[in-house]
Amino acid sequence: MIVAVNVHLKKGVLDPQGKAVHHALETLGFKDVDGVRVGKQILLDINTDDKEKAIEIAKKAADELLANPVIENYEIEVK
């Protein structure tokens, strides 16, 4: 089962990569894009058919390794 962990900087934390992409899109003529945030999507291939268990493992992995709780939020998404 593939579970995605989406990691993004918390609101209020400066996201220079997002700002750079936003600026580049503006330069390319994208007028309707009001803001950009760039984060990570980590896809975990978890060896179980139990959705709850997969989510639990992904959450544990996010807490222990994938996200920095000081500056980042994450969300879990079963694919």
Binding site residues, its own copies, CB under 8 A: 4, 6-8, 18, 21, 24-25, 28, 30, 32-48, 57, 60-61, 64-66
Residue 21 CB, shortest distance to its own copies, in Å, is: 7
Q: Which residues pair with 74 in a beta bridge?
A: 7
Give CA–CA dist 18/51, Å, rounded: 32
Q: 11 or 70: whose CB is closer to its own copies?
A: 11
Give CA–CA dist 60/65, Å, rounded: 8
Fill in the amino acid letter for 59.
K
Q: 45 or 52: whose CB is closer to its own copies?
A: 45
Give CA–CA dist 37/15, Å, rounded: 7
Residue 19 CB, shortest distance to its own copies, in Å, is: 12
Residue 18 CB, shortest distance to its own copies, in Å, is: 8
